[in-house]
């Protein structure tokens, strides 16, 4: 107010140091840990086939837990190997599946055809009862799989982090990444790309031998 009334010529807040914001690197999940989780799903039982398909979709597409959990049968098009995600703010997008993921989903659909809840429109079905598998059910499943496989901190969002990390590490376009992951602000890819930048810096350091000259 004093500044507005021209009693002083600069704001006293200019000398106040702004608090530093801690930049935390996004935790990712390594390929070997994903493989351990997939190995825990080997078998012909419905639950093993279903869980493998869910894990592969999470790892392959980097989608949000809610997006994967809310998939409907009509959202899967195996003629094109794609899934149709209904993102936040009614922002839909279609994402292509890799060959292994598409085969896993196809295998699940065959197993699903014999389930007592086959008439439900939901893609993922619970093992017991004629009901869909909700997001919380997927969350609990991932926790159980992690415990069995000896992998700590397993949750769906780690694959989303990993997808963005690997995309940025490979030098992928930020705009394309935003479309694939359903982001509208470039703040998110910058945030997710921090771990990739740190890893690139470590590779450069190793090639240059910095810190090992003595």
Q: What is the SS3 assignment for 136?
A: helix
Q: What is the mean pLDDT of residues 200-210?
A: 46
Specify if 183 maps to a domain. yes
Q: How far is CA 2 from CA 8, 9, 185, 194, in A?
A: 6, 9, 37, 42
Reported as a single tens digit per residue, the pLDDT across 135-170 is 999 999 999 999 999 999 999 989 988 888 787 777
| Strands of the sheet with 92-96, listed across from one edge | 76-77, 82-86, 92-96
- What is the domain count for the chain? 1
E strand or H helix that includes residue 137: helix 135-149
Specify if 8 maps to a domain. no
Can you give the pLDDT at residue 121?
97
CATH assignment at residue 98: 1.10.443.10
Top-ranked range on mean pLDDT: pick from 11-20, 26-35, 96-105 = 96-105
Give the integer Cα–Cα distance in Å for 56 and 98: 9
Rg of the chain taking only CA atoms, in angstroms: 23
- Which of the residue ranges 42-46, 68-72, 127-131, 172-176 would you say has the lowest mean pLDDT? 172-176
Q: What is the SS3 assignment for 183?
A: coil
Specify if 24 maps to a domain. no
Specify if 213 maps to a domain. no
Specify if 84 maps to a domain. yes
Specify if 48 maps to a domain. yes
Of 90, 38, 25, 96, residue with least CA distance to 62: 96
Give the integer Cα–Cα distance in Å for 84 and 76: 7
Q: Which domain holds residue 176?
A: 31-208
Q: What is the 3-state secondary structure (H, E, C) of 24-75?
A: CCCCCCCHHHHHHHHHCCCCCCHHHHHHHHHHHHHHHHCCCHHHHHCCEHHH
Reported as a single tens digit per residue, the pLDDT across 98-137 is 999 999 999 999 999 999 999 999 999 999 888 999 999 9
């Amino acid at each position: 107010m004093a500044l507005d009334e021209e009693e002083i010529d600069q704001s006293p807040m200019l000398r106040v140091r702004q608090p530093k914001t801690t930049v935390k690197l996004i935790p990712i999940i390594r390929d070997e840990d994903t493989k351990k989780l997939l190995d825990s799903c080997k078998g012909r039982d419905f639950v093993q086939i279903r869980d493998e398909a869910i894990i592969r979709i999470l790892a392959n597409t980097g989608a949000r837990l809610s997006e994967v959990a809310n998939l409907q049968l009509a959202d899967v098009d195996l003629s094109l190997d794609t899934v149709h995600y209904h993102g936040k703010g009614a922002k839909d997008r279609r994402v292509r599946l890799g060959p292994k993921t598409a085969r896993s989903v196809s295998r699940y659909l065959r197993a699903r055809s014999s389930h007592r809840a086959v008439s439900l429109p939901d893609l993922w079905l619970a093992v017991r009862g004629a009901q869909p598998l909700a997001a919380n059910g997927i969350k609990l499943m991932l926790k159980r799989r992690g415990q069995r496989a000896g992998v700590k901190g397993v949750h769906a969002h780690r694959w989303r982090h990993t997808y963005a990390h690997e995309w940025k590490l490979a030098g992928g376009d930020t705009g394309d990444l935003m479309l694939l992951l359903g982001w509208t602000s470039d703040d998110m890819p910058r945030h997710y790309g921090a771990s990739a930048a740190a890893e690139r810096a470590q590779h450069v350091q190793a090639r240059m031998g910095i810190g090992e000259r003595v």
